[in-house]
Amino acid sequence: MLVAAPGVAYADTVRGLSWHLDFLKVERAHAISQGEGVVVAVIDSGVDAGHPDLQGQVLPGWGIGGDAAPDGRTDNRDHGTGMASLIAGKGGNDNRLLGIAPKSKILPIALGEASEEREVSQAVRWAVDHGARVINISIAFPASELAEDLRQSVAYAMSKDVVVVAGAGNTDANGLGVGVPAAIPGVVASAAVDRSGGAWAGSSHGHEVSVGAPGVQVITSAPANRSKNGYLVGDGSSNAAALVSGEAALIRSQFKQLSAANVINRIIRTAKDAGKPGRDDLYGFGVIDPVAALTADVPEVKDNPLLGAQQGSSTGPGSAGPTGQPLVSAHIDWKIMGPLLVVVAVLAGGITWLVLASNRRRRRAVQRVPGYPPGR
């Protein structure tokens, strides 16, 4: 059991702020699996390999785009570091962030600031060819702009037995729809839920959503060039995607012979039903349950169950449905502010709240919709 430092309230520590760990009963899950032996690719802004939460967790990776770190192990923004920490943070004490799969390894693929779908497509193929068993993509492009090469790269990953997880996107309730790659059939499209398990209004929703996972007021690690204090707290479906990727790593480690299709099947079949009975547009098949995913008796399947489910509407597979509304810009906008950002500092063993970015900022319709960050 983690104990707060003397004189510091447990609720004010990094661990105390990690409500998602208690919500997902991660301590129980870790008694079964911690993701050992599984490589999770994080296609993002790069990962700060020197962050105390991630030292020894980050493999040499790749960079694509003008300002991307060549080996992916530097993060000039904060987004990728945050996602990697939710997946593979080492933890160790109250003021270190513990990931869902702390014994997994991160394969970072850094995207340049002006990256487009083409670069994401290349990153997916590189990840597959360099040992990734799970790929986390916490980036969403408008579904109307889906490029064929991205679809083919995702299909390539699936053909190589790799689980692909993506954030549904953030819309601030503007109705932009689930983005891609999340909307590509077979991808585990992850929407954000809050502490109560309720669907977050800022998350993209639609018939493509596979599952829900914690995404609101989630604490993540951040590089020193973005937060002197090493942590950020914020909202986003990217948080949800990272946690789902971590769950996939737990399953792949525990059931080493299980195919990607069956890993995905375990994720969706053991999710806790929420909202309307059965699959729905807010929660997909439900909110993830890592303990159940590691312990339940789930009949095996031959094919990826999402190849059919994402084709349909909320009533089930097979029905037509909208894929999202068009946006205009030609590349990822890393500077988009999320709905809420809190910068936190580790002081004397505890957390001190420093900055609250107020005035909820809405995204302009001409900008791409990243699944995260809470503050970039």
Whether 333 has a pLDDT exceeding 50, the answer reads: no
- Which amino acid type is present at position 244? V
- H helices, E strands: number in the chain: 10, 11
Q: 218 or 369: whose pLDDT is higher?
A: 218
pLDDT single digits (tens) 246-256: 999 999 999 99
In this prediction, residues 199-208 reach a mean pLDDT of 94
State the pLDDT at residue 175: 66
Q: Residue 253: what pLDDT?
A: 99
Q: How many percent of the chain have pLDDT more than 90?
A: 69
User: What does 299-329 look like in DSSP terms, one character per residue?
Assistant: ---SS-THHHHTTSBTTBTT-----------
Report how far residue 186's alpha carbon sits from residue 309's, in angstroms, rounded to the nearest whole number: 8
* Domain spans of the chain, in order of start: 10-357
- For the annotated catalytic residues, the residue numbers are 44, 79, 238
120 C-beta neighbours (distance < 10 Å), count: 26
User: What's the predicted TM-score (pTM) here?
Assistant: 0.84
Q: Residue 350 pLDDT > 80, yes or no?
A: no
pLDDT the model gives residue 77? 87
What's residue 146's pLDDT?
A: 79
Residue 228 pLDDT grade (very low, low, confident, very high; cuts 50, 70, 90): confident
- Over residues 40-85, the pLDDT tens digits come to 999 999 999 999 999 999 999 999 988 899 999 999 889 999 999 9
Asked if the model's pLDDT at residue 129 lies above 80, the reply is yes
Residue 2's pLDDT band (boundaries 50, 70, 90)?
A: very low
Q: pLDDT band for position 86 (50/70/90)? A: very high
Task: Give the helix/strand (H/E) hosting 352.
Answer: strand 350-357
245 by DSSP, 3-state: which? helix
Q: Give residue 176's pLDDT.
A: 73
One-character DSSP codes across 2-22: --PPTTS-GGGSHHHH-HHHH
Give the model's pLDDT for residue 288.
Answer: 99
- Under a CB-based contact definition with an 8 Å cutoff, are residues 337 and 355 in contact? no
CA distance 231 to 237: 18
What CA–CA distances, in Å, run from 26 to 2, 73, 359?
Answer: 13, 27, 34
> How much is the pLDDT for 249?
99
Which of 125-139, 140-154, 263-277, 294-308 shows the lowest per-residue confidence on average (mean pLDDT)?
140-154
More confident residue, 342 or 226: 226
| Alpha-carbon span 18 to 8, nearest angstrom | 16
Of 304 and 142, the structure prediction assigns the larger pLDDT to 304
Q: Is the pLDDT of residue 369 over 60?
A: no
Q: Comparing C-alpha atoms, which of 12, 32, 37, 28 is closest to residue 88?
A: 37
CATH assignment of 10-357?
A: 3.40.50.200
